[in-house]
Amino acid sequence: MKAVSATDAKQKLAALLDAAQREPVLIRRQNRDVAVVMSVEEYDRIRGARNDEFERFCDRVSAQAKARGLTEKILADILKRLKPERAPRQSEMPDLPGRMRSIHGEKTLRPSGADLIPKDRSRY
C-alpha cells in the first residue's frame, strides 16, 4: 500500500484520487496513520465481505442456539425480562461549567474561559 503525508495528500489531491483507483493509499500525519483512501469498488468489496461474514456468524449462532433448545418463545421471554437503561433525566444531570448540557434538543453552549477558572484564586 502506498503511503503519503497529509500535506502531500492535500496538495496533490487529484493524483491521490487517481492512485487510489489502483490501490488503497495510506495518509500519515506526524508519523501516524490517520486515513486510507480507496476506490469505491474496493470499499464495496470489503463491505460486502464483512456483510457476508456477519451473516455466516449469525447463522452459526442461530444453529448453536437451536441445538441447545432455544426457541422463539424462550428468546421473547428472555428479552422481556431485560430492562433497557434509560437516559438520565434533566433533573439528574450535574451542573456543568457554562451549561454544557445537551439533552432532548437543549442548546449546547461552550464554556467561556471564565467558566474554567476557579472562583477562589487565592491558592494560586
What is the rounded average pLDDT of the residues 76-100?
68
pLDDT attached to residue 22: 95
For residues 107 and 15, what is the distance between their CA atoms, to the nearest angstrom?
A: 42
Topology given in CATH for the domain delimited by 2-38 = YefM-like fold (3.40.1620)
Q: What is the pLDDT of residue 101?
A: 47
Summarize pLDDT for 21-78 with one digit per residue, the tens. 999 999 999 999 999 999 999 999 888 888 889 999 999 999 999 999 998 898 888 8
Q: Please tell me the predicted confidence (pLDDT) of residue 12.
A: 96
SS3 45: helix
Do the Cβ atoms of 49 and 41 come closer than 8 Å? Answer: no
Report the mean per-residue pLDDT for the chain. Answer: 80
> What pTM does this model have?
0.47
- Distance (Å, whole) CA 28 – CA 98: 36
Provide the pLDDT for residue 117: 54
For residue 120, the model assigns a pLDDT of 56
Domain assignments of the chain as residue spans, ordered by start: 2-38, 42-81
pLDDT at residue 83 is higher than 80? no
- DSSP label of 117: S
